[in-house]
Structure 1
């Protein structure tokens, strides 16, 4: 359903999707590069927690109630998590472009698949990091827009 009518429609096939859903995680586990994705998984959880706090703060502000005990930690979590994701993305990009082996787990990958495998995993991790950072940044922009909208409503009233 998701990929219907597109060049990626083969990914909608339950057999192909099952194989890909099995092969990719196994490849990450066997090569030791699962830690790359685990870093982004943790960052994503922190982003969701920070934005949940921001949404609660925005709701409290709209209700004309004290909101800072939720808004300040949410802002702190947003900035620190986005900075951590950006830094980790830089580390993977530097390892990809500079061909440095920065993580001990990548030595396992080098022995299994060679330098090309290391570069491929680092490139994939860089792409995931860029996407996660952009999504987090977009969510931050949505929060700022919502807060400004709530302020404008208050000023008009």
Structure 2
């Protein structure tokens, strides 16, 4: 039988090595994520729209006959590992090309939302709640009329 040599390590050395391995693992996972980033939650929304223009109809034959207008293989080449980088995260080549292709034709839209519309007279005089959309008061229980 072979004799197993007994290792003698101090606790501080063991703790330092374990801390270094844990720190290296955390930094590695943050720099090179195994799973896609949290943008994955928004991808389902994009896959349902299919990057079609807003005036396109969503019939079955449109999905079957839809041909890419741009060769994404040349526009977004894969690296040596077969991955395409999208938003600083490596993706499988087909998915990374598709995401990059959709993102490259996306346009910014300015959206302004008016918060609070019409006001109520004297803020319902403290006897109700104002519906700012309609500009009408909804009276509390026991109060009536036009507060």
TM range (shorter): under 0.3
Query: RCO greater where, 1 or 2, for CA within 8 Å and sep 6 or more?
Result: 1
Higher normalized strand content (fraction of residues): 2
After TM superposition, the score normalised by the length of structure 1 is 0.23
Normalised TM-score (structure 2):
0.24
Which protein shows a greater Rg?
A: 2
